[in-house]
């Protein structure tokens, strides 16, 4: 493995951080032992800036380059979301009825059956109706996580100090 830059982040398939590297788990580290890395990232990811600073926390997070309104060190997003009616596409539900009668206790398909023509046999049945539909959904959050494979992200604590170009 070539000598890394200080602060370089790599994916690592092992279950430990190699010597000179640390997991990107948001942990606080002492400035006194990691002063070169502190010069690069400061308190971008947390810490008090006097005694400690935090490493980036990539646990359950997808890394993204800064820009388009997102700044270095910013965390955003949610693993679970609950949609509101304003976020759902415009759609409608229909009430269905049939003119075929049914004498069973539970009419087939649970449709409204034709009413009896009590007053006149030559006229179609007229009935004032105010059908209503019940609300759909349960307002429960659903998973918002893309397909993934878990690997560890590690950050180099030592190495070549990157020069600005």
Over residues 3-27, the pLDDT tens digits come to: 999 999 999 999 999 999 999 999 9
For the cut 60, the answer to whether the pLDDT of residue 91 exceeds it is yes
**What would the DSSP string read from start to end of 41-101?**
HTTTT---SSSEEEPPB-TT-----SBTTB-TT-----SEE---GGGSPP------B-S--
Q: Give the per-residue pLDDT at 104.
A: 57
On whether residue 94 sits in a domain, the answer given is no
On whether residue 124 sits in a domain, the answer given is no
Collapse the DSSP code of 23 into the 3-class scheme (helix H, G, I; strand E, B; otherwise coil) and give the result: strand
On whether residue 95 sits in a domain, the answer given is no
Least confident of 21-25, 125-129, 146-150, 161-165: 125-129
Q: Give the per-residue pLDDT at 149.
A: 94
On whether residue 89 sits in a domain, the answer given is no
Q: How many CB atoms lie within 10 A of CB 56?
A: 22
User: What confidence category does residue 108 fall into, taking pLDDT thresholds of 50, 70 and 90?
Assistant: low
Which residues span the domain enclosing 161?
Answer: 1-62+150-165
Instruction: Tell me the two tokens of residue 28.
Output: 């606080």
Q: Give the per-residue pLDDT at 114.
A: 60
3-state helix, strand, coil in the chain (%, to 5): 10, 20, 70
Arithmetic mean of pLDDT, 73-99: 82
Q: pTM for the whole thing? A: 0.70
CATH number at residue 58: 3.90.1340.10
Q: Tell me the percentage of the chain whose pLDDT exceeds 70.
A: 80
On whether residue 11 sits in a domain, the answer given is yes
């Amino acid at each position: 493995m070539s000598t890394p830059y200080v602060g370089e982040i790599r994916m690592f398939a092992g279950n430990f951080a190699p010597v000179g590297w640390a997991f990107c788990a948001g942990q606080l580290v002492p400035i006194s032992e990691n002063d070169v890395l502190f010069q690069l990232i400061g308190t971008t990811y947390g810490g008090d800036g006097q005694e400690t600073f935090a490493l980036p926390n990539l646990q359950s997070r997808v890394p993204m380059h800064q820009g388009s309104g997102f700044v270095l060190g910013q965390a955003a997003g949610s693993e679970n979301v609950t949609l509101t009616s304003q976020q759902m596409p415009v759609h409608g539900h229909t009430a269905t009825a049939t003119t075929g009668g049914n004498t069973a206790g539970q009419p087939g398909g649970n449709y409204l059956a034709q009413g009896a023509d009590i007053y006149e046999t030559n006229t179609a049945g007229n009935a004032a109706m105010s059908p209503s539909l019940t609300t759909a959904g349960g307002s429960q959050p659903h998973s918002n996580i893309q397909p993934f494979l878990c690997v560890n992200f590690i950050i180099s604590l030592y190495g070549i100090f990157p020069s600005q170009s």
